[in-house]
């Protein structure tokens, strides 16, 4: 979807600019370089090409609309123009490649940090990379890794955040499971301020990971997810598990206590909340 619908009662918000985002940003590493495009196939794809060409850590890529916005498992991220935030970050973490999933979990916490004071409902993280408002998806995260044996070269963190997207303008196939910050707050939001806040929060959580380790991030993730004790169905590439959530552990794995008493760790896959015990 690439047309630019108008918000009820007025025109679409003003466009994002690199100067506008960097003004008053005051970050040390993220956002020192910002590229804003009127349209891209995918911010992740462009960020990946820039990273391969040597673009430094912390570079930010933003598009006002995407023609091939990416979600997990090959899904499309619907990207109407001038309403939301489609942003990718180039990170070069000092992590082993098998630890790179921690970056996605960290990014989900940063998104929740950004939203918590902007909506009346508490944001909730759904494993592994969605941020929900009142049970509907407001943001998704797609991280992509470039590595060589034993070494992470870079990680692209792509975030799609529905800001001023009216549910009435959403297609029927996503309307019942998606929302936007405007819908929950009851008024349009300032996209520049939200963008600056997200860059700051992601940097803060990234530095926290480096200085204090992942256990600190895991505690925040658990607090936002509020999944402890809930029964879930986990669908991985190899199997389907049913169990009660114990926690997100210090390695970034979702720990389940299954009905037969064994403990399983979910590394990747989709997790669905269940109403009560099976």
Please name each of the domains of the chain with its CATH number: 18-224 (3.30.930.10), 228-273 (2.30.30.100)
**Cα(69)–Cα(153) distance, rounded to whole angstroms?**
23
Name the token pair of 6: 């108008």
Q: Nearest to residue 206, comparing CAs of 114, 86, 92?
A: 92
Cross-strand partners of 70: 76
Neighbours of 39 (CB within 10 A): 12
Mean pLDDT of the 118-125 span? 96
Mean pLDDT of the 197-226 span? 95
Q: Cα(first)–Cα(last) distance of the chain, in Å? A: 40
173 prior amide bond cis, ω within 30: no
* Better-predicted residue by pLDDT, 147 or 174: 147
Mean pLDDT of the 165-189 span? 92
Mean pLDDT of the 178-199 span? 96
User: pTM for the whole thing?
Assistant: 0.89
Confidence (pLDDT) at 73: 46
pLDDT, tens digit, 9 for 90 and up, residues 90-106? 999 999 998 888 999 99
Mean pLDDT of the 179-185 span? 96
Strand order in the sheet with 270-273: 263-266, 254-258, 240-248, 231-235, 270-273
pLDDT, tens digit, 9 for 90 and up, residues 45-94? 999 999 999 999 999 999 999 987 665 545 555 668 899 999 999 999 99
29 prior amide bond cis, ω within 30: no
**Cα(254)–Cα(102) distance, rounded to whole angstroms?**
12
Mean pLDDT of the 111-128 span? 95
Mean pLDDT of the 31-39 span? 96
Task: Return the half-sphere exposure (C-beta side, CA atoms, 13 A cut-off) of residue 88.
Answer: 32
């Amino acid at each position: 979807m690439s047309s630019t619908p108008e918000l009820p009662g007025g025109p679409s918000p003003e466009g994002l600019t690199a100067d506008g985002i960097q003004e008053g940003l005051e970050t040390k590493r993220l956002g020192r370089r910002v590229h804003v495009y009127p349209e891209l196939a995918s911010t992740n794809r462009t960020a990946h090409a820039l990273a391969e060409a040597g673009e430094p850590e912390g570079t930010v890529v933003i598009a006002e609309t995407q023609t091939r916005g990416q979600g997990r498992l090959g899904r499309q991220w619907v990207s109407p123009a001038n309403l939301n935030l489609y942003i990718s970050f180039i990170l070069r973490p000092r992590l082993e490649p098998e630890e790179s999933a921690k970056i996605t979990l960290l990014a989900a916490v940063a998104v929740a940090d950004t939203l918590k004071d902007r909506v009346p409902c508490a944001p909730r993280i759904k494993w592994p990379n969605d941020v929900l408002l009142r049970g509907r998806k407001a943001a998704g995260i797609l991280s992509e890794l470039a590595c060589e044996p034993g070494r992470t070269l870079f990680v692209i963190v792509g975030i799609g955040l529905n800001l001023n997207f009216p549910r009435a303008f959403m297609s029927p196939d996503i309307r019942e499971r998606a929302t936007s910050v405007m819908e929950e707050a009851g008024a349009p939001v300032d996209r520049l301020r939200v963008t600056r806040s997200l860059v700051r929060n992601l940097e803060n959580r990234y530095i926290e990971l480096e200085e204090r380790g992942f256990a600190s991030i895991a505690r925040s993730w658990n607090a936002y997810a509020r999944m402890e004790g809930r029964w879930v169905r986990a669908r991985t590439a190899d199997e389907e598990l049913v169990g009660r959530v114990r926690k997100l552990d210090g390695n970034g794995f979702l720990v389940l206590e299954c009905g037969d008493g064994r403990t399983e760790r979910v590394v990747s896959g989709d997790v669905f909340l269940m109403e009560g015990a099976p």
